[in-house]
Structures are given as C-alpha cells and as structure tokens.
Amino acid sequence: MSEKAVVIEAPGGPEQLKLVDVAVGEPGPGEIRIRHEACGLNYIDVYHRNGAYALPLPARLGMEGAGIVEAVGEGVTHLQAGDRAAYASQPPGAYATARVMPAKAVLKLPDAIPFDTAAAMMLKGLTVQYLFKRTLPQGGLQAGDFIVFHAAAGGVGLIACQWARTLGLQLIATAGSDEKCQLALDHGAVHAINYRSEPDFAKRVREITGGKGVKVVYDSVGADTWEGSLNCLAPFGLMVSFGAASGAVPPFSVNALAAKGSIYVTRPTLFTHLASQQAAQAMGDDLFSVVASGEVKIRIDRRYALADVAQSHRDLEARLLTGSAVLLP
C-alpha cells in the first residue's frame, strides 16, 4: 500500500523536508494502522529536523495526529478498525497520509472533538496535563497560587492559560510582544510580561507576588529565560525546564540552587509519562474532559497542506504562529 510521508535524508533547514511515496503495511503485534485526517505541528519537530534531537536517518517527522483506525494488530484491545483516534506518540512519523505505529499511546477520540482539534491538542494538551497534574512543587498547587508560564501565547501556553484558570491558579504569562501578552490574558492569564520590553521579568514577578516569588516556573524557552526563571522562585520552589526553544540551558552550579532558597530543578518529558497504555488513557481522559466541556478551547492559528510542510516550519521558527497549527494530508 503506497502512501505519502515527509522524510528527511539529513539534518538541516526546512528545505530538507521532502514529501515522498512510502509503503505502509499491516500492523504487527501491539500496533495499529491509522489514516490521518490531520497532523499536529510542534517545535520538537524542528529539533528533529535540524538535528538538535538526533534521529536515525532517513527519518520521518511528526509526533501527533488524528484519524481513523484502519487495522489493529494482535494484542490490541482498546481500539478496533473504524474507531476515531488521536495520539501523541513515539516514534515520529505523523507527517503522513497513513502509518503503522505502536498502539499503546493511541486513544479513542470522543465524537465531540473534531479531528483537526485533536491533532492540534494531543502533544500540547498532554504536556499541560503532566505539568499541572504530575510535575508539582512541594505541597502541590492550590487555587490562588501564583505560577510563571513562559511562551504563554504558543500552542502549549494558551492551553495552559485556560487550564490554570479552571484550577484557580494565578498564571503569570511571559511572551515576546504586547499582542502575544494580550492573547495570553484573553485566555486566562492574570498577568502578562513582555520579556522583550521588560527583560528583567523576575523583578516584575516579585512585584506581582509581593516579593514572595512563585511556587513553580514552567519554562520551555531554555537559555534565554533560565537565570530569570530561577530568580522568580520562592524558597523550595520548583524550576520545570521542559523545552529549549532559545537554546539549551547552560551548565550551572548546584550551589546556586542553595543560594536561591533550596530550589528544586527537573527536566521532565511527556513520553516518560505516556510509558503505559493505562497512564496514557488517564491523561487523555483528563484532557478530553476539559476540552469537551469548553473550559479549554484549542486555537488553531494555521492549517497547511502536507505538501507545504517546509513553509510551516519556516513560520514556526520565525515565531509567526500563535496557538496551534496543523497539517492536512
């Protein structure tokens, strides 16, 4: 069976992304074959393409998608042919019309959630789920607590702003323009800081919190925000580094964590949390619930044809996108 998929032969720029014919066979034990209706676009795809996160070559890209299950392999019991389904899953390969893949992190999609919404939300929404429900500071988070969330106008950030509001958290957003700051406020952030016009965002966070700092900082930016993020934290606060859009976090002395108030640091990954089908289902059910209820709305800023994948990466790297974006096979 011949289908289309995006492949890179070598790491590099968007020009490396090629749409080619590929063979898609039958699913083996623990696998499914899914025909995509929409595929998600994420910054981790850029890391895979440019070699920052090296993949065996030639490599296929894309970590999330939604569509119809066409066939299931031996041992797969939570899905059957004909099911609507969505996933955020390894290995990469979602940039395709159809694929065979491991079934454990593929979830049955409720009828109330459209395919493009699902493809736009699985990796981003499950990321917010594990951050807010599974990556918590000492004593957890309670309604009224202040948190800092960087890149708050992106796909992950806008979901986080809304989800934080449903939990009663006071989310302090950072973003790179006044327009993006307003977008974060419109989606539930209680304060927003433009770190380009106000580079000492930690000083502003201290002002907002009456000098106390916050229990936790969720940071996907990396090098540019690392030191400021540490300076936002209250004693025993948690620094959660879950991405590096501006570059890798530089080496640091653990003694600095003592000097800043017995600070905790963690570098979690989504796929550690999705390691079992049971965990993936529980996380997915939580995400589906808040989206189906309307408490969290998924903003899709752009829809690209799969053949225009190179342009989608140019736009992503140029920070032209707010909210989420999807590729349509």
Q: Which of 267, 289, 312 is the last residue in one of the domains?
A: 267
Same domain, 247 and 300: no
What is the per-residue pLDDT for 191? Answer: 97
**Structural domain range at position 218:** 136-267
**Which of 225, 109, 236, 215 has its CA nearest to residue 167?**
215
- Domain membership flag for residue 130: no
What is the per-residue pLDDT for 2? Answer: 72
Encode 215-234: b = buried (16+ Cβ within 10 Å), e = exposed.
Answer: bbbbbbbbebbbebbbbbbb
**CATH number (domain holding residue 179):** 3.40.50.720
Q: Which of 247, 267, 287 is the last residue in one of the domains?
A: 267
- The SS3 of residue 35 is strand
User: Quick count: other Cβ atoms within 10 Å of Cβ 43?
Assistant: 20
Count of domains in the chain?
2
Same domain, 216 and 249: yes
**Which of 108, 113, 105, 104 has its CA nearest to residue 81?**
108
Q: Which one-letter DSSP state was computed for residue 304?
A: E
CB 153 within 8 A of CB 121: no
CB 174 within 8 A of CB 150: yes
Same domain, 195 and 256: yes
CB 102 within 8 A of CB 89: yes
Same domain, 178 and 259: yes
Paired with 2 in beta bridges are: 23
Same domain, 319 and 306: yes
**CATH number (domain holding residue 112):** 3.90.180.10
CA atoms within 13 A on the CB side of 40: 30
- Domain membership flag for residue 63: yes
pLDDT tens for the chain, 329 residues: list them. 679 999 999 999 999 999 999 999 999 999 999 999 999 999 889 999 999 889 999 999 999 999 999 999 999 999 999 999 999 988 999 999 999 999 998 999 999 999 999 999 999 999 999 999 999 999 999 999 999 999 999 889 999 999 999 999 999 999 999 999 999 999 999 999 999 888 899 999 999 999 999 999 999 988 889 999 999 999 999 999 998 778 888 888 899 999 999 999 999 999 999 999 999 999 999 999 999 999 999 989 899 999 999 999 999 888 887 778 999 99
Pairing mode, if any, of strands 300-305 and 324-328? Answer: parallel
CB 5 within 8 A of CB 100: no
- Domain membership flag for residue 145: yes
CA atoms of 29 and 304, how far apart (whole Å):
33
Q: Which of 267, 285, 312 is the last residue in one of the domains?
A: 267
Paired with 88 in beta bridges are: 64
What is the per-residue pLDDT for 1? Answer: 65
Regarding pTM above 0.85, the answer is: yes
